[in-house]
Chain A
Amino acid sequence: MRAATHARWAACAVAVTLAATACGGGGGSGGDSGAVLSSSWTDPQNPLEPANTNEVQGGKVLYMIFRGLKQYDPKTGEAEDMLAEKIETSDSRNYTITIKDGWTFSNGEKVTAKSFVDAWNYGASLKNNQKNAYFFSYIEGYDEVHPEKGEQKAETLSGLKVVDDRTFTVRLSQKFSSFPDTLGYNAFVPLPRVFFDDHAGWLAKPVGNGPYTVESYTKGSEMRLTKWDAYPGEDAAQNGGVTLKVYTDNNTAYTDLMAGNLDLVDDVPAQQLRNVQNDLGDRYLNTPAGIIQTLSFPHYDKKWNKDGSDKVRKGLSRAIDREQITETIFQKTRTPATDWTSPVLGEDGGYKEGLCGEWCEYDADEAKKLIEEGGGLPGGQVKITYNADTGSHKLWVDAVCNSINNALDNDRACVGSPMGTFADFRSQASTQKLSGPFRAGWQMDYPLIQNFLQPLYYTGASSNDGKWSNEEFDELVDEANAETDVAKAVETFQKAEEVVRDNMASIPLWYQNGSAGWSDRLSNVALNPFSVPVYNEIKVG
């Protein structure tokens, strides 16, 4: 990027003559704090409202322009206070939240308790079609503003009350000890008045309270963000700004990185993984993200829910050679799973390596024995359903089937069953129309073990597509949620996870990694637990 280099030199020259400030490279903390970096992007799927953004691309923007009560540490995933001065509770149900003084939105408006309460009410209200509305479902009054059926009965959550400018209270509908730790998620950020008063204008140019402000936004092609100089937080941007460029194909983005037209690619295409070491050397990052891939089972189907079915599932699990598949197909961008959570949680957060034990280790003989003991494969064959349009699922499903077939010495034991589109696949899976195992990916909402278990395995939970139901598990989850001591809560959740293991409710396959590659202009690139680059810490030059 020759032009940019010139511009930088020009900027440096000006700066030197003016005040001789730090400029150019060199030095440990060096870097041009005025330089702008460019980063690959994809058009967000939903309107860019905080409670309506449930994928990484929109999440990137929100992560730059918003700061919530809590912030997850990019390295440990721990929830740390950001805008929150203190969050107090005596019973894990009634919380008093005090926000720090001195925070404003980039348009000058003060961030008050009302900014939060209004934003959360907006997010929960059914009439606003917010796809993350379920985040607010723990708050009392949610069933009034967001009834499962019928008309909305209230406009605001009865569990939210503004006390004064900097204090508000939250009353939950049940005990939930880790509630404060969920508050780092995008859906919980405060919103300025302009969001409500001029909604279309806000969507065209979002205004927030984060380290960056939106300078211009051309939908479908580019968003320019610049550093907000008056940002009151401690994590101010280390660069002058970020230009997000929309790429239709991540291969093109990678080519552009090679040609020097792009600084940061946060999704290295699978086809390039072989070359990445040559092309980028140490300018490449491959770290676990909060995503786990599993095989779910139709527990609503009698064939998969009888005596011995758990043995069949365990047998299948033991017939999958995770090591080999992650190495040959994913070039180590996936890590074989040994529990049902994710390494980003850390040991204190509930990740327990090897919790699955021998049930996740490949052993063809044992697999065969287990399946025989369990009464054989239902119908003599398993069909793994997946969507063929995105994510190269065909590759690994075929590999998994191959592994199963080899282990069982039966060419017809497992076949893949592709579906045309993701939407079709999801609608079949969520309406219990599938009759065999199906692929399931889970991206965490917040780095808590609770989020890896409750929504997926609790009776009737929102993403329990297989309709698995187990009283012991439900009781343990309830118990863990009511537990005020964090360490004890985690321990109880792990006990619940062991119930999932003993029944092999789903087969854990592997943890997905996030990847990023960058140009030699950048340094200090990291990914947060949601696989979003930590833009504000990137140094340019």
Chain B
Amino acid sequence: MGRYVVRRLLQMIPVFIGSTLLIFLMVNVMGDPIAGLCGDRQCDPATAAQLRKEFGLDKPVWQQYLTYMGNVFTGDFGTAFNGQEVTELMSTAFPVTIRLTIVAILLQIIIGITLGVVTGLRRGRPVDTGVLLVTLVVISVPTFVTGLLLQLLLGVEWGWIRPSVSSAAPFDELIVPGLVLASVSLAYVTRLTRTSIAENRRSDYVRTAIAKGLPRHRVVTRHLLRNSLIPVVTFIGADIGFLMGGAIVTERIFNIHGVGYQLYQGILRQNTQTVVGFVTVLVLVFLLCNLVVDLLYAVLDPRIRYA
């Protein structure tokens, strides 16, 4: 187990370097970011040159990348064009996005798995067909439509929620945005759990458990669910990364000042430092999530052993 983890961690190094290099190059290909700083007019050449020098943009790209990576390892992610340290931006943005992700994941687990179990056990019944239909609709409607619709209905028409999240972004204000963010994944989790449950319900060990005379809820939770959850756990684990980085649409609709907002603004303003910094952290989150998911397999399925 320990050796496996070490091996996985070592594998992360090339992935990490490769992905940050790619992002760095992509942002650089977009052109000269200083030109966008002066609005529709031309920056005066002396100030532009000075700024380029200060941000290290006058050096060749490979050198910029090396300096940047060197600084990253000492915890210095550079400065955004508005004079704020990128680490400062991160310290305000990540807590918000993490809260949003937690809400989304919890909703996925609670609603998704419950619905999955209910429909999986009642295959072909009206409940099953109904939920299947609803998930189909949720999957096919884009997030921004669901988001804007809920915002308009709950926020403006009925006045149940505030249409925008305040800058502190406490958990209770994040429930609706979390639901919107989780909606598509939630539908997938429902369907995954349903199929998995329905399949395993006919397996030998479930029949044995029932034959032993175990109570129904015990059969479902201890035997059926534990085995059926393996694909679901993989999905949710991989989804954490997606949710954190892919919340741009939801964060814009509900005016949440999280990672998506910073990334969006960073891209618009061609702020290399912000974009690369945030993506670097997201890459790390993604890699770690994958590792944890793989380790969880062993917990869920004792037949899997890592050496």
Measuring CB to CB, which residues of chain A are less than 8 angstroms from any residue of chain B?
A: 43-47, 54-55, 126-127, 129-131, 133-134, 146-149, 203, 218-222, 245-249, 251-253, 255-256, 258-259, 261, 389-390, 420-424, 426-428, 430, 440-443, 455, 462-463, 465
Does B156 make an interface contact (CB < 8 A)?
Answer: yes
Given contacts A44-B82, A47-B83, A247-B164, contact A423 B255 (CB under 8 A): no
Q: Are B37 and A203 in contact (CB under 8 A)?
A: no
- Nearest residue (CB) in B for A254 is B163
Contact between A246 and B46 (Cβ–Cβ < 8 Å)?
no
Chain B: residues with Cβ within 8 Å of the partner, total of 50
Closest CB-CB distance, B52 to chain A, in whole Å? Answer: 11
| Contact yes or no, A441 B43, CB < 8 A | no
Q: Which residue of B lies closest to A2 (CB)?
A: B159
Q: Within 8 Å CB of A465, what residues of B? A: 42
The 3 closest A-B pairs by CB, nearest first: A423-B36, A427-B35, A221-B167
Q: Which of A46, A126, A440 is close to B37, meaning CB atoms less than 8 Å apart?
A: A46
Q: Write out the residue numbers on chain B whose beta carbons fall within 8 Å of the beta carbon of A148.
A: 44-46
What residues on B are CB-neighbors of A129 within 8 Å? 47, 50-51, 54
Interface of B is mostly: helix
Nearest-Cβ distance from residue A107 to partner chain B, whole angstroms: 22
The answer to whether A131 touches B47, judged by C-beta atoms less than 8 angstroms apart, is yes
B257 contacts A248, C-beta separation under 8 Å: yes
A441 to B51 alpha-carbon distance, docked (Å): 24
- Give the docked Cα–Cα distance between A259 and B162 (Å): 8
Tell me the minimal C-beta distance from A56 to chain B in angstroms. 10
**Which residue in A222, A258, A259, A463 is a CB contact (below 8 Å) of B41?**
A463
Shortest CB distance A514–B (Å): 16
Contact status A462-B44, CB under 8 Å: yes
Q: How far is the CB of B76 from chain A (nearest CB, A)?
A: 17
**Nearest CB of A to B206, in Å:** 49
**Residue B38 is within 8 A (CB to CB) of chain A in the complex:** yes
User: A residues within 8 A CB of B46?
Assistant: 126, 133, 146-149
Instruction: Determine if B227 is an interface residue (Cβ-Cβ < 8 Å).
Output: no
B84 touches A423 (CB 8 A): no
B152 at the A interface (CB under 8 A): yes
Closest to A218 in B: B167
Within 8 Å by CB of A426, from B35, B83, B251, lies B35
- With both beta carbons as reference points, the residue of chain A lying nearest to B152 in the complex is identified as A255
- Identify the closest chain A residue to B89 (Cβ): A220
A423 touches B156 (CB 8 A): no
Alpha-carbon separation in the docked complex, A258 to B164 (Å)? 11
- With A252-B163, A256-B163 known to touch, is A131 a contact of B43 (CB < 8 Å)? yes
Point out the residue from B32, B33, B38, B267 that lies within 8 Å of A54, measured CB to CB. B38
Q: Is B188 an interface residue (CB 8 A)?
A: no
Q: Is B94's CB within 8 Å of the partner chain A?
A: no
User: With A and B bound together, what is the CA distance between A440 and B83 in angstroms?
Assistant: 28
Contact with A along B155-171 (1 / 0, CB 8 A): 11001001110010000
Q: Is the CB of B47 within 8 A of A126?
A: yes
A47 to B80 Cα, complex, angstroms: 10
**Contact call B50/A427, Cβ cutoff below 8 A:** no
The answer to whether B261 has its CB under 8 Å from any CB of chain A is: yes
Say whether B252 contacts A261, CB under 8 Å: no
- Is A259 touching B255 in the complex (CB atoms < 8 A)? no
Residues from chain B with a CB closer than 8 A to the CB of A218 are: 167
The CA of A423 and the CA of B29, in the complex, are separated in Å by 12
Q: A424 touching B156 by the CB < 8 A rule?
A: no
Q: Are the C-beta atoms of A203 and B83 separated by less than 8 Å?
A: yes
Alpha-carbon distance A218/B166, docked complex (angstroms): 12
Chain B 107-147 near chain A by CB (<8 Å), digits 1 or 0: 00000000000000000000000000000000000000000
A441 to B38, CA, bound (A): 12
A422 / chain B contacts, CB cutoff of 8 Å: 36, 268
Contact A455 B41 (CB under 8 A): yes
Contacts of A54 in B (CB 8 A): 38-39, 41
13 contacts between A and B (CB under 8 A): A54-B38, A54-B39, A131-B37, A134-B44, A221-B167, A249-B252, A252-B163, A426-B35, A426-B38, A427-B31, A427-B34, A442-B40, A443-B39
CB distance from B107 to the nearest CB of A (A): 22
Which residues of B (239-287) have their CB < 8 Å from a CB of A? 251-255, 257, 261, 264-265, 267-270
Contact A424 B255 (CB under 8 A): no
Chain B residues lying within 8 Å of A203, measured Cβ to Cβ, are: 83
Looking at the assembled complex, report how far the CB atom of B66 sits from the nearest CB atom of chain A, in whole angstroms: 24
| Distance (whole angstroms) from the CB of A278 to the closest CB of chain B | 13
Check if B254 sits within 8 Å of A219, measured CB to CB: no
Q: A255-B156, A426-B36, A426-B40 are in contact. List 8 more A-B contacts (CB 8 A).
A: A45-B82, A218-B167, A219-B88, A248-B251, A252-B151, A423-B32, A423-B37, A424-B270
Residues of A within 8 A of B41 (CB): 54, 442, 455, 462-463
CA distance A444 to B243 in the complex (A): 42
Determine the chain B residues whose CB is within 8 A of the CB of A256 once the complex forms. 162-164, 255
Closest chain-A Cβ to B32's Cβ sits at a distance in Å of 4
Distance, CA A129 to CA B269, complexed state (A): 18
Q: Which of B55-107 contact A (CB under 8 A)?
A: 81-84, 88-89, 92
- Measured between beta carbons, the chain A residues less than 8 angstroms from B51 are 129
Q: Could you tell me the distance between the alpha carbons of A133 and B30 in the complex, rounded to whole angstroms?
A: 27
Assembly CA distance A335 to B40 (angstroms): 20
CB contacts under 8 Å to A, within B7-50, are: 30-47, 50
- Chain A, Cβ-Cβ closest to B162: A261
- Expressed in whole angstroms, the minimum distance between the Cβ of A219 and any Cβ of chain B is 6
Residue with the greatest number of chain A CB neighbours at <10 A, chosen from B41, B46, B89, B267: B41
Q: B92 touching A55 by the CB < 8 A rule?
A: no
Question: How many Å lie between the Cα of A441 and that of B267 in the bound state?
Answer: 22
Within the complex, what minimum Cβ distance (angstroms) separates B62 from chain A?
A: 21
A131 touches B156 (CB 8 A): no
CA distance A421 to B269 in the complex (A): 8
Residue from A44, A146, A252, A426 in contact with B254 in the complex, judged by beta carbons closer than 8 Å: A252
Q: Are A249 and B253 in contact (CB under 8 A)?
A: yes
Name the contact of B92 in the complex, choosing from A46, A134, A146, A220 (C-beta under 8 A): A220
Chain A residues in 8 Å Cβ range of B47: 126, 129-131, 133, 146
For the complex formed, measure the closest distance between the CB of A48 and the CB atoms of chain B, giving whole angstroms: 9
A131-B47, A149-B46, A462-B44 as given contacts; A421 in contact with B31, CB under 8 Å: yes
Q: Are A430 and B42 in contact (CB under 8 A)?
A: yes
Tell me the complex Cα distance, A468–B41, Å.
15
Alpha-carbon distance between A366 and B285 when the two chains are bound, in angstroms:
63
- Residues of A within 8 Å of B267, CB to CB, are 421
Q: How far is the CB of B176 from chain A (nearest CB, A)?
A: 13
Are A126 and B50 in touch, CB under 8 angstroms? yes
Which residue of A is nearest B53, CB measured? A129
Are A46 and B83 touching (Cβ within 8 A)? yes
Cβ B36 vs Cβ A421 within 8 A: yes
B39 & A55 in contact (Cβ 8 Å cutoff): yes
- When C-beta atoms are compared, the residue in chain B nearest to A52 turns out to be B83
